[in-house]
Amino acid sequence: MDFWRAIELGLVQGLTEFLPVSSSGHLVLAEHLLGVDPPGISFEVVLHLGTLLAVLVYFRHRLWDIGQDLVQRRTVANRHDGRKYFLALVIGTIPAGVAGILFKDQVEAAFSAPKAAAAFLLVTGVFLLATRLARGMQRPLTLPRAFLVGCAQAVALLPGISRSGSTMSAAMGLGISPAAAAEFSFILSIPAILGATVLSVGEALAEGISGPIAAVYALGGCVAALVGYASLWLLFGMIKKGRFWWFGVYCLVVGIASLVLLP
């Protein structure tokens, strides 16, 4: 792998990890339509660490408030007790963790079915377009709602179902405001990204990273982090302007085009 390839993959990872368009779905379709070879496990780990860094930096103040609340038991600015918010994150993480263990083989098999990924992109598009019907509600993030959002995250294990798109759509459908839904969705992604990274560390170490290739991998990770941060900034700007549903149109177009082009 050379520097340009690392930049290209870092760019794709940073854009699709947080924008609600399904990074896994795009990877599956790119492999089959464009002949793009997937990166090795070790490089995938570096890319995930880059996007994890992006979300940690973007939400650093919110995470700091939650952490202080866990220690000091104080009320944070948005009127949610930090301990309750942390518990909501734990509950929201459980469904994807359980589904990943129980349906590991089925999920892995789905990654070799490009037409299924294209069809799931259509599902993501419908989810995103449906958020236009959920504007204006300001319900709080309760533990049952956090669990339901976590169930949406579990469904997103399938390629083509966007993790951020499904969780944000579910949260908005439950009456949570778009900004609060986005915040919970992306903070909820921290244990998901971290868990996927930890599970892949063993294979990554077996591949080994040394010499010039380490610099190439580091570049890819940095690009993923910077583009990921910019993607979060872009997405929140679109949410504030009420344009989140635009991504639904994109997913529908890509999904339909892929179904037409796939052999």
Q: What is the four-CA torsion angle of 107, 164, 160, 155, rounded to 10 degrees? A: 40
Cα–Cα nearest to 94, from 222, 192, 227, 235 = 192
State how far the Cα of 255 lies from the Cα of 261, in Å rounded to an integer.
10
Q: Which residue has the tokens 């969780």?
A: 167
User: What pLDDT does 101 receive?
Assistant: 86
Q: Which residue has the tokens 């930890």?
A: 198
Please enumerate in sequence order all residues whose Cβ is within 8 A of that of 254, keeping only pairs 6 or more positions apart, or say none: 21, 26, 29, 118, 121
Which residue is listed with tokens 């798109």?
Answer: 165
Tokens coding 214: 């380490």
pLDDT given for residue 34 in this prediction: 66
Dist CA 164 CA 181 (whole Å): 10
Number of structural domains in the chain = 1
Which domain does 140 fall in, by range? 3-261
Does residue 196 contact residue 107 with C-beta atoms inside 8 Å? no
N-term to C-term CA, the chain: 29
pLDDT of 76 reads 46
pLDDT (0 to 100) of residue 183: 95
Q: Count of CB atoms within 10 A of residue 244's CB?
A: 25
CB 28 within 8 A of CB 176: no
Mean pLDDT by 10 residues, the chain (263 residues): 80 87 84 69 81 94 88 56 90 93 87 91 95 79 95 93 94 92 94 78 60 79 94 93 92 94 86
Which pLDDT value is given to residue 85? 92
Angle 99-165-188 from CA coordinates, rounded to 5°: 60
